[in-house]
A and B are shown apart, each in its own frame.
Chain A
Amino acid sequence: MKAHFTINGEKKEFEFSEGEVLLDLLRRNGYTEVKGNCYLGTCGACTVLIGGIPRASCVTLAAQVVGQEILTVKGIGSIKHPHPIQKAFAEKGAVQCGFCTPGAVLTAYALLKNNPSPTVEDIKIALDGNLCRCTGYIQQIEAIKYAIELIKGGK
């Protein structure tokens, strides 16, 4: 089948099969910033925002999200103009191998949209679905706290 999606603000038309999950559709069409291949929704590396809500794209059927707004990590910033969360992750040691980073950054982005002043406990709960094997999470949490300052400071 064929349908429209809005990805990172651009309207796109893609062909896909009935059972295809969003992760595969996105990677097949060059959105390789979406990682992960557990296909159980357990690792969070494939997180994208659908209508602003973090979702595991590996267990989301493409057909379920036709016409919706999908945001990947490239949709919130670039190397030249990084989002404060991306900047904070880079500065605060929150990126080691970086494979889980796009998912974790998007989760943080959604969190701060809904709750601009989360507690550490709020951050931990939000990140619960984004597994990271390298950092042990502490620097990710510190980075998100730092991003809050950056955002509040208008940077």
Chain B
Amino acid sequence: MEGFFKYIGKSVEKIDALALATGQPLFTDDMEIKNALQIKSLYSPYAHAIIEDIEEEEALKIPGVKLILSYKNTPQYLHTTAGQGWPEPSPYDTCMFNRKVRYVGDRVLTVAAETEEIATEALKHIKVNYKILPAVFDPEEAMKEGAPVIHDEEGISGVYDARRNLVAHIEVKTGDIEKGFRESDVVVEDTFETHYAQHCPIEPHVTITYLDEYGRLVIRTSTQVPFHVRRIVSQVTGIPLKDIRVIKPRIGGGFGVKQEIILEEICAYTTYLTGRPARYLYSREEEFISSRTRHPMKIKVKIGAKKDGTFNAIKMYALSNTGAYGTHGLTVASNTGSKTLPLYNKAENVEFIADVVYTNLPVAGAYRGYGATQGYAALEQVVDEVAEKLGISPIEIRKKNHIRSGETSPIFRALGEGREGVTQYIQSESLDRLIEAGAKEISWSENRRKKTGKQSKVRGIGMAMLMQGSGIPAVDMGAATIKLNEDGSFNILYGGTDIGTGLDTVVAQIVGETLGTSPDKVIVYAADTDITPFDKGAYASSGTFVSGGAVYNAALKLREQVFEYAREKFNEFDTKEFLIEDGEVISKRSGRRISLSEIAYETFYVRKHQQLMATASFISQSSPPPFAVHFVEIEVDTETGQITPIKYVAAVDCGIPINPELVKGQIIGAIVNGIGYALTEEFEFGKSGKMVNPNFLYYRIPSSRDIPEIVPIIIETYEPTGAYGAKSVAEVNINGPIPAIGNALYNATGIRIHKTPYTPEKVLKALKDNINK
């Protein structure tokens, strides 16, 4: 698209980058707030218990302690902490504070005091009496008759079968699955388990609340979903929605974990009751033990294929552990099927079944990849197993079976996010090109297993093919307002939620392109519920596609107004041959021109007397998938069990990359996060269900020394339903590392590990078992 667009496809510098690199006070906790109460929390030491009593009198006597909140003095409104569109597809199974605690780390109470030290001290003087209940940690056990019932409270809703701890049960079938297997030449079945992990944004959750000069409640918070925060805080606290203003400053990373409303309601309620500003900041330990995690799953995949490699039937069963509360339980499990199975649409017989189960373990929620990551961990390894059984290359089997432009999959319609989906046809796709480009870069060959100079070290190459979506179709809306200023600059006011991705820069480029203005003359103000229009927020890979779509629609509307003013001025019949570029409207027919600055001056002060401005919304009826094909070369040390990724190649189709440098950042960032998940990051639990490694010493996220050479290859397609042909790119690439490394491990050593992460211990054990076989 080089040369076709002026600002689209250009690596415009991220508009907030220099401010961030020079340390400006941009984050939630960088604001100086005088006289704020400091909030600290007490957590359950038991995995399952009833709080019989809380003895807080001693703590209340400590000077400086202002407020203790618990189930005893807070509204008991059942709701979900999932910051999703309304009505949320997650169950209403929690209150601000619950009388029953359901995992080690469940919040029992909070203390608000004059200083953090006093609040922390006060926690030591509170005695909580628990009646301990039997706990269940294994999702299979949790579903059995006689297992402890985790949610037996009155009034919960949206739970499939609370008596069996079953949050959701999903069943989707197309064709005749058994007939499909019967008529297949080979059938392969295998089961893979994925594990608990945490998002680890370097900025933890933090919220500041205060009353403004009119007594309205202001919530400044590190969130991905400012509008959902306003709605849910109102719902949970009973404070009228009109009295709440949510401001999203710069956010220090989210990856899904800040799609949850877990601090805001308590901080808000503290301010509401005391009239005092309040500050609630999670520590790294709290981030691990009491925020949200990725749903661990056990996934069984069965594929039936013809001799030539064509898939005939695919069956997937996912057992998802949502932990103590059901937030995102149904929708994450839905995506395990809906974001994976359509990739192989040549199979006419498809069955997807999922059970989502409560256990007395930490709460799972939204995490980049959102169920697809778990699905691909299993699916892409079974695809390799089928290929091997048929004697076909992993590349050929994928080429034979992948979805193509103009095609659909019945799964799109049958399975949406927690409900029926929408029919959609793929309009942009280049999987064969992705495969070829990636294979070339990694030097793929049929004989790719390599010896190294050292006896104990072997190398192998593996691949994985992936897709995701772009927003939640027919559900999630974004809106934007754009107005013209006297110097020809524009303000964008929109609800889109840049959490570090660069969305604000992307929308400045969209406006720049549409309104003939350099993006540095586009001032972006985002996500303030008093000032900007609604937007669903940052999740489901919706930033560029949905929020960007809203900005694009508003820009088109404003362009019409600008053209109409120029038409009157030029005294022409229509605007058909009008252009807008370099801050001017030009009539190609008459050669007349007028600058945007002149138009603004005239419309403000001379004629018309109106503000040229437009507001528009965007909702999509489809969720065009970005596609990616990953290749990784790894080295396995057969003496230590250590896997070292050597080179990682990701060929990616995200439509038109509006800002290639930002796209590159999304690709590499997701891959490195995925490599951490595949190799080192893991929750370790004690016997009581306590997470015992809640810090970066023992929960190892990748550092600069852990990364391989990474080569992102962006292959452009044009998605007609996206602004300037763009699709999403934020999530899809986190899905690759587990299956690609898993396949590379098999290629290198002949072992396949069925439970992530691929730690040295597991590799060594598998190597040993393989020799003994």
Residue B1 at the A interface, CB < 8 A?
no
Taken residue by residue from 73 to 95, chain A's Cβ proximity to chain B (1 for < 8 Å, 0 otherwise) reads as: 11001110010001101111101
Q: Which of B228-285 contact A (CB under 8 A)?
A: 250-253, 255, 281, 283-284
CB of A131 within 8 Å of the partner chain? yes
A133-B202 contact in complex given A87-B18, A96-B502, A128-B705, C-beta closer than 8 Å: yes
Question: Does A21 touch B at the CB level, under 8 Å?
Answer: no
Q: What separation, in Å, do the CA atoms of A92 and B668 have in the docked complex? A: 13
Q: Which residue of B24, B669, B696 contacts A135 across the interface (Cβ within 8 Å)?
A: B669
- Measured between alpha carbons, how far is A87 from B710 in the docked complex, in Å? 24
Contacts of B22 in A (CB 8 A): 33, 73-74, 77-79, 82, 86
Residues from chain A with Cβ under 8 Å of B24 in the complex: 33, 79
Question: Could you mark each residue 123-135 of chain A with 1 if its beta carbon is under 8 Å from any beta carbon of chain B, else 0?
Answer: 1110111111111
B701 to chain A: closest residue by CB: A131
Residue in A78, A128, A139, A141 whose CB lies within 8 Å of B665: A139
Within 10-41 of B, Cβ neighbours of A (below 8 Å) are at 11, 13-14, 16-27, 29-30, 32
Is A1 located at the chain interface by the 8 A CB criterion?
no
Contact with A along B1-14 (1 / 0, CB 8 A): 00000000001011
Chain A's nearest CB lies how many Å from the CB of B259? Answer: 15
B201 at the interface (CB under 8 A from A): yes
Which residue from B20, B661, B664, B705 sits with its C-beta under 8 Å from A98? B20
**Residues of chain B within 8 A of A38, CB atoms compared:** 283-284, 695-696
Q: B703 contacts A93, CB within 8 Å?
A: no
Q: Does B581 contact A (CB under 8 A)?
A: no
Bound-state CA distance A133–B674 (Å) is 11
Q: How far is the CA of A97 from the CA of B500 in the complex (A)?
A: 3
How many angstroms between the C-alpha atoms of A134 and B670 in the bound complex?
8
Chain B residues bordering chain A, tally (CB within 8 A): 56
CB–CB B695/A99 < 8 A: no
Q: Which residues of A contact B255 (CB under 8 A)?
A: 133
Contact check: which of A35, A36, A82, A139 meets B668 at CB < 8 Å? A139
Contacts of A100 in B (CB 8 A): 202
B324 interfacial contact with A, CB 8 Å: no
Contact A138 B203 (CB under 8 A): no
Shortest Cβ distance from A150 into chain B, in angstroms?
Answer: 13
Q: Is the CB of B669 within 8 A of A136?
A: yes
Q: Are A128 and B17 in contact (CB under 8 A)?
A: no
Chain B residues whose CB sits within 8 angstroms of the CB of A39 once the complex forms: 283-284
Interface assignment of A43: CB less than 8 Å from any CB of chain B:
yes
| Chain A hits for B696, CB < 8 A | 38, 40, 42-43, 131
Q: Does A101 contact B (CB under 8 A)?
A: yes
Residues of B near A123 (CB, < 8 A) are 704
Tell me, rounded to whole Å, the shortest Cβ–Cβ distance linking B395 to chain A: 26
Query: Residue A102 at the B interface, CB < 8 A?
Result: yes
**B704 and A96: CB pair below 8 A?**
no
Q: Which residues of B contact A35 (CB under 8 A)?
A: 27, 202-203, 252
Interface residues of A in 48-73 (CB under 8 A from B): 72-73
* Contact between B707 and A96, CB atoms less than 8 A apart: no
List the B side residues contacting A40 at CB < 8 Å: 284, 695-697
Question: Is B672's CB within 8 Å of the partner chain A?
Answer: yes
Contacts A37-B281, A127-B703, A131-B701 given; does A95 touch B20 at CB 8 Å: yes
Question: Would you call A99 and B284 a contact (CB within 8 A)?
Answer: no
A98 adjacent to B21 (CB under 8 Å): yes
B294 to chain A minimum Cβ distance, whole angstroms, is: 14
A30 contacts the other chain (CB 8 A): yes
**CB-nearest residue of chain B relative to A103?**
B202
Q: Is the interface of A mostly helix, strand, loop or mixed?
A: loop
Judged by a CB distance under 8 angstroms, whether A137 is at the interface is: yes
Smallest Cβ distance from B666 to chain A, in angstroms? 8
Neighbour of A90 across the interface among B13, B281, B671, CB < 8 A: B13
Question: Which of the residues A30, A77, A136 comes within 8 Å of B671, measured between beta carbons?
Answer: A136
Beyond A30-B32, A43-B696, is A90–B18 a contact (Cβ under 8 Å)? yes
Residues of chain B with a CB closer than 8 A to A124's CB: 704-705, 707
B574 to chain A minimum Cβ distance, whole angstroms, is 43
A22 contacts the other chain (Cβ, under 8 Å)? no
With A and B bound together, what is the CA distance between A83 and B28 in angstroms?
25
Which residues in A have their C-beta under 8 angstroms from that of B695? Answer: 38, 40, 42
CA distance A38 to B698 in the complex (A): 13
Q: B200 interface residue, CB < 8 Å from A? A: yes
Q: Nearest chain-B residue to A87 (Cβ)? A: B18
CB pair A98–B17 under 8 Å, yes or no, is yes
B665 CB contacts on chain A under 8 angstroms: 93, 96, 134-136, 139
CB distance A105 to B21 under 8 Å? Answer: yes
**Inside 8 A of A105's CB, which chain B residues have their CB?**
21
Judge whether B356 is part of the interface by a CB distance below 8 angstroms.
Answer: no
- Given that A43-B284, A131-B703, A133-B200 are known contacts, is A138 also in contact with B710, CB under 8 Å in the complex? yes
Q: Closest residue of chain A to B664, judged by CB?
A: A93
Please give the distance in Å from B544's CB to the nearest CB on chain A.
Answer: 15
**Closest CB-CB distance, A30 to chain B, in whole Å?**
7
Contact B701 A133 (CB under 8 A): yes
Q: Does B673 contact A (CB under 8 A)?
A: yes
- Is A45's CB within 8 Å of the partner chain B? yes
Partner of B252, one of A42, A86, A97: A97
Complex contact B662–A125 (CB within 8 A): no
Q: Of the candidates B250, B501, B673, which one forms a contact with A136 in the assembled complex, judged by CB atoms under 8 Å apart?
A: B673
Look across to chain A and name the residue whose beta carbon is closest to the beta carbon of B24.
A79
Residues in B whose Cβ lies below 8 Å from that of A45: 202
Which one, A30, A33, A133, contacts B201 given CB within 8 A? A133
Task: Give chain A nearest CB distance to B260 CB in angstroms.
Answer: 17
CA distance A141 to B11 in the complex (A): 18
Residues of B within 8 A of A99 (CB): 27, 201-203, 252-253, 500
Expressed in whole angstroms, the minimum distance between the Cβ of A129 and any Cβ of chain B is 7
A93 cross-chain contacts in B, Cβ below 8 A? 11, 14, 661-662, 664-665
Q: Is A32 an interface residue (CB 8 A)?
A: yes
Any A CB within 8 A of the CB of B219: no
For the complex, give the distance between the alpha carbons of A128 and B704 in Å.
Answer: 5
Residues on the A chain within 8 Å of B16, using CB: 95, 98
Shortest Cβ distance from A97 into chain B, in angstroms? 3
Q: Is the CB of B668 within 8 A of A135?
A: yes
Contacts of A131 in B (CB 8 A): 202, 696, 701, 703
Are A33 and B23 in contact, CB atoms less than 8 angstroms apart?
A: yes
How many Å lie between the Cα of A133 and that of B675 in the bound state?
Answer: 12
A73 partner residues in chain B, CB cutoff 8 A: 21-23
Rounded to whole Å, the gap between the CB of B301 and the closest CB of chain A is 29
A101 touches B21 (CB 8 A): yes
* Sample of 19 A–B contacts (CB below 8 Å): A32-B30, A33-B22, A37-B204, A77-B22, A90-B17, A90-B18, A96-B253, A96-B502, A97-B20, A97-B202, A97-B253, A97-B499, A98-B20, A99-B27, A133-B253, A135-B665, A137-B672, A137-B702, A138-B710
Q: Please name 17 further chain A to chain B contacts, defined as beta carbons within 8 Å, in addition to the given A32-B30, A137-B702, sorted by A numbering.
A: A32-B27, A32-B29, A34-B23, A35-B27, A74-B22, A79-B22, A98-B26, A101-B21, A129-B703, A130-B703, A132-B202, A132-B704, A135-B665, A135-B668, A136-B670, A136-B671, A137-B672
Interface residues, chain A, with chain B CB atoms under 8 Å away: 30, 32-40, 42-43, 45, 72-74, 77-79, 82, 86-87, 89-93, 95-102, 105, 123-125, 127-141
**Which B positions have Cβ atoms within 8 angstroms of A?**
11, 13-14, 16-27, 29-30, 32, 199-204, 250-253, 255, 281, 283-284, 499-502, 661-662, 664-665, 668-673, 695-697, 701-705, 707, 710
Question: Nearest 9 pairs between A and B by C-beta?
Answer: A33-B23, A97-B500, A98-B20, A99-B252, A136-B672, A90-B17, A42-B696, A136-B668, A127-B704
